[in-house]
Every structure is written in C-alpha cells, then in structure tokens.
Amino acid sequence: MKILVAEDNVMLLKTIELKLIKEGYEVFTTPDGRETMKEIIRLRPDMIITDVMMPYASGLEVISMVRQQLKWKTPIIILSAMEQEEVVLNAFDLGADDYITKPFSLNELVIRVKRLLNRNS
C-alpha cells in the first residue's frame, strides 16, 4: 500500500514516514502543496495524509484536487494544529475522510490509517 504524506515540518514528516514504514507501508513524502499535487498524479497513492497549512497549496486545495478534479475516492487524512471548527468542517465538506489535530499519537495515526484502508479495500 502506497501512502503519500505531505507535511512542511521536516521532523514530523520524517517521524510519520518512519512509523508507517515500520508498519509495512510504502511511504512517499512531500514538503509542500505544489509537490504534493504533482506526486498524487504520478504515484496514485492508496492514501493521502496531508497537513492543512503548507507552502504553495494548502491541504484543503489538495483535497479539492483529488475529489473535484481527479474524482478519486482515495482516503485522505488531514493533519492540523488548528482546532478551528470552520477548518475542520471545510475539510470534511471537501471530502476528507478523517482529521487529526496536532500534536497526536503516532499509534493513533496508524490505527486510523489501517481503519480507512480496510474500509476502502
């Protein structure tokens, strides 16, 4: 299973990558929204985990591209330090499957990843 992780915090990105690799996933990472959009098309990942606030394009723009332009049902988990209800609702309205507020437990992330991938397989 290919998972694309988009996060501009390099330490968090590496930590998530290592945890998901340890769980047996093939992980690809991107540091910004523009690179994320290119890699989504190139890789066609089985899941996308994206931060909301990233340089060049936000996680909300990533969701919009996947759902409205590409019309893909790829599971998407949003990561965000923002606990604003409006952002959460907007992410779900655009088609996010799950939303995790930072800081979070890596074990919780893995459980959510497995749950979504099992649901969609």
In a domain, 28, yes or no: yes
The total of structural domains in the chain comes to 1
* CATH code assigned at 52: 3.40.50.2300
Decide if 63 is inside a domain.
yes
Q: Is residue 120 a part of any domain in this protein?
A: no
Q: 119 in a domain, yes or no?
A: no
Beta strand spans in the chain (E): 2-6, 26-30, 47-51, 76-80, 98-101
Asked whether residue 54 is assigned to any structural domain, the reply reads yes
User: With bands split at pLDDT 50, 70 and 90, how would you rate the model's confidence at 113?
Assistant: very high
Flag whether 118 is in a domain: no
Q: Tell me, yes or no, whether 117 lies in a domain.
A: no
| 75 within 8 A of 96, measured Cβ to Cβ | no
CB neighbours of 102 closer than 8 A, spacing ≥ 6? 12, 79, 80, 81
Per-residue model confidence as pLDDT tens digits over 5-59:
999 999 999 999 999 999 999 999 999 999 999 999 999 999 999 999 999 999 9
Cα–Cα distance measured from residue 10 to residue 20, given in angstroms and rounded to the nearest whole number? 15
Within a domain: residue 34?
yes
**pLDDT confidence tier of residue 114, bands split at 50, 70 and 90:** very high
Q: Which residue range forms the structural domain that includes residue 30?
A: 2-112
